[in-house]
Amino acid sequence: MTGDLVRAIVQSMKMSTDLEKKFQEQITLEFAASLTYRQLAIEADEQDLPGIAAWLRHQADEEIVHANKFIQHVSDRDNHAAIGTITAPAVAPGLTVLEIFEAALAHEQKVSEAIRELYRSADKEGDYDSRPLLNWFVDEQIEEEATVSEIIGRVRMIGEDGSGLLRLDSELGARPAKGTEADAE
Ligand SMILES: [Fe+2]
């Protein structure tokens, strides 16, 4: 009787195989996002913009934190968190600063849509256990897109003004740490 009860509880907590697969894809996407930011940081570094490069590396570390959040959730649900194939970041060499941030925004928009899709799948299955986590990610994506959009607006305003770019570089390099793995740097 107790065994049956325990089994019933475990079964209700566990997510479906289909949802598990979608979470695994999201874990892979977060790691891929980290590598994209890491590559964009290299591009900024090569243009002697250490502040922007540091900001992008910080973003890269945040994506690892995101992946870890999903891994933790899947493991806590008694499912299996597998990391899938990660392809090389689609970042062309020699991007302008504007193009670097436009690439970052495009990637964030892709991640936002993937989170919405995950939300739809969870909702369709009545998987309420994943809602708090997915709500956190919906909020996080709104914030990420808004932040990158604001930087793009400022880069456009700066245009060819070198001193403006240097000001933005030092400002982004000094951004306060948010308690991620990046703090260890
Ligand atoms: Fe993320």
CA of 111 to the centre of ligand 1 (A): 7
CA of 13 to the centre of ligand 1 (A): 25
pTM of this prediction? 0.87
CA of 39 to the centre of ligand 1 (A): 15
Q: In the prediction, which pLDDT does 182 show?
A: 47
Can you say how many angstroms the Cα of residue 98 is from the centroid of all Cα atoms in its chain?
20
pLDDT along the chain (185 residues), means of 10: 60 87 97 96 95 97 97 96 92 92 96 96 94 96 96 95 95 72 45
Q: Say which CATH class 15-173 falls into.
A: mainly alpha
CA of 10 to the centre of ligand 1 (A): 29
CA of 67 to the centre of ligand 1 (A): 7
Q: In the prediction, which pLDDT does 7 show?
A: 62
CA of 66 to the centre of ligand 1 (A): 5
Q: In the prediction, which pLDDT does 80 show?
A: 95
CA of 155 to the centre of ligand 1 (A): 23
Half-sphere exposure of residue 72: CA atoms within 13 angstroms, side-chain side: 7
CA of 182 to the centre of ligand 1 (A): 14
Q: CA-to-CA distance for 15 and 118, rounded, in angstroms? A: 13
Count Cβ atoms below 10 Å from residue 81 Cβ, excluding itself: 18
Q: In the prediction, which pLDDT does 13 show?
A: 85
Q: In the prediction, which pLDDT does 115 show?
A: 97
Tell me the three state secondary structure of residue 158.
helix
Residue ranges per domain, the chain?
15-173
CA of 89 to the centre of ligand 1 (A): 15
Q: In the prediction, which pLDDT does 152 show?
A: 97
CA of 120 to the centre of ligand 1 (A): 18
- Compute, in degrees rounded to 10, the torsion defined by CA atoms 87, 132, 79, 8: -160
